[in-house]
């Protein structure tokens, strides 16, 4: 271990965890998001089905990828990187034992908060142990750090997921309000959550958002996507902006923690974009609620629910794009609340 690893501040440690999480999320989720949208119309071909399945299985490795990239942020050697990655995979909740089937079942991506906690425990253990095991590290490091931190993550998982459930329950209560207000509140909630450690897909499924509620949730995710793309266009390299457009909104988690004002234009866009949801009865499903424009899941769900093509283009694209540009001019140029270069430059 080098001197930098021995004298980490809490802020530096958190930034490294957030950066690794942001990078890992985009790497793990993009393939399935893109391929499932493109190939879903060709499922009559068995090889296409296998490609889709491969993308889903790759997505199951989300905690593994995030854990490895978090460890890389601390300049760990290859063995420690893989041990931290393995521990994170174990504690993420992506694989659970099903006593009825007497088998281990994999589903989803795991709980992002618990992924970060488990990876942090594994990293701290690895930093504390250093080279204490000597030549026996290859035996004891996987046991103590890999299984040990993974076990801690498994113990914490049921309690950490209560956070997601609680937030989801609060959002679900918005459905009891007046339609336009409801749509705005849900849209704003998901617009903020998509660049936080909370998984919007998990919340959508956990609380069973459907109908206009699901449409508003998906629109909130879409609003943040468009806002980030518009503001990132001349600030970041084209690859970063493209990754955000394809579903990598959580890449901006470090920005959220360092520059919380990034939420202001995102929420503004979400408010404006939510109005057509109520006016045109834009609906969705629990599965589409957390995706937004990723893989065109949100727009296609609203199309299946009866929204015509013209209103789809206006609601999902024209309104969020226009709102994003208005917000950019209002908050940066007129009110001078922030510098886009500082707030939207990718910190990964």
Is the residue at 296 inside a domain?
yes
Same domain, 103 and 222: no
Q: Is 10's pLDDT higher than 50?
A: yes
Residues linked to residue 97 through DSSP beta bridges, in sequence order = 104
CA gyration radius for the chain? 21
Is the residue at 170 inside a domain?
no
Q: What is the pLDDT of residue 321?
A: 98
Same domain, 62 and 200: no
Residues 6+ apart with CB under 8 A from 242: none
Question: When comparing pLDDT for 156 and 107, which is higher?
Answer: 156
Q: What is the pLDDT of residue 307?
A: 95
Q: 292-339, pLDDT tens digit by residue?
A: 998 788 998 899 899 999 999 999 999 999 999 999 999 999 999 999
Question: Residue 284 carries which DSSP code?
Answer: B
Is the residue at 197 inside a domain?
yes
Total tally of structural domains belonging to the chain:
2
Q: How far apart are CA 297 and CA 317, in angstroms?
A: 13
**Is the separation of the CB atoms in 109 and 291 below 8 Å?**
no
Question: When comparing pLDDT for 164 and 253, which is higher?
Answer: 253
Same domain, 150 and 198: no
Question: When comparing pLDDT for 286 and 333, which is higher?
Answer: 333
Q: What is the pLDDT of residue 348?
A: 66
Q: How far apart are CA 322 and CA 51, in angstroms?
A: 36
Same domain, 102 and 70: yes
97: alpha, beta or left? (left if phi > 0; alpha if psi -120 to 50):
beta
Q: What is the pLDDT of residue 3?
A: 46
Q: Is 205's pLDDT higher than 70?
A: no
Q: Is 16's pLDDT higher than 50?
A: yes
Show which of 131, 163, 195 is a domain's final residue: 163
Show which of 115, 131, 163 is a domain's final residue: 163
Q: Residue 149's domain spans which residues?
A: 3-163
Is the residue at 168 inside a domain?
no
């Amino acid at each position: 271990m080098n001197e930098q690893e021995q004298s980490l501040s809490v802020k530096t440690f958190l930034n490294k965890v957030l950066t690794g999480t942001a990078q890992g999320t985009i790497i793990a989720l993009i393939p399935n998001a893109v391929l499932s949208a493109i190939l879903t119309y060709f499922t009559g071909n068995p090889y296409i089905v296998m490609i889709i399945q491969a993308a889903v299985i790759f997505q199951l490795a989300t905690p593994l990828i995030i854990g490895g990239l978090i460890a890389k942020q601390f300049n760990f050697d290859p063995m420690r990187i893989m041990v931290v990655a393995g521990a994170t995979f174990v504690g993420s909740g992506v694989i659970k034992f099903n006593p009825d089937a007497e088998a281990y079942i994999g589903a989803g991506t795991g709980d992002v908060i618990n992924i970060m906690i488990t990876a942090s425990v594994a990293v701290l253990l690895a930093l504390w142990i250093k080279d204490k095991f000597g030549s026996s590290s290859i035996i004891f490091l996987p046991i103590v750090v890999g299984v040990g931190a993974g076990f801690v993550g498994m113990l914490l998982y049921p309690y950490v997921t209560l956070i997601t459930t609680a937030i989801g329950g609060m959002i679900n209560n918005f459905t009891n309000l007046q339609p336009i207000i409801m749509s705005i509140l849900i849209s704003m909630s998901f617009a903020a959550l998509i660049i936080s450690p909370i998984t919007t897909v998990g919340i959508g499924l956990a609380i069973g958002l459907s109908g206009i509620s699901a449409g508003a949730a998906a629109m909130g995710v879409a609003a943040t996507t468009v806002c980030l793309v518009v503001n990132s266009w001349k600030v970041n390299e084209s690859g970063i902006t493209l990754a955000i457009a394809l579903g990598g909104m959580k890449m901006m988690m470090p920005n959220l923690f360092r520059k919380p004002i990034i939420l202001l234009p995102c929420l503004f866009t979400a408010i404006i974009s939510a109005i057509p949801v109520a006016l045109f009865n834009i609906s969705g499903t629990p599965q589409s609620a957390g995706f937004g424009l990723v893989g065109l899941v949100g727009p296609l769900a609203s199309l299946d629910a009866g929204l015509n093509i013209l209103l789809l283009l206006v609601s999902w694209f024209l309104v969020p794009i226009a709102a994003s540009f208005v917000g950019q001019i209002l908050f940066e140029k007129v009110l001078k609340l922030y510098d886009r270069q500082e707030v939207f430059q990718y910190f990964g």
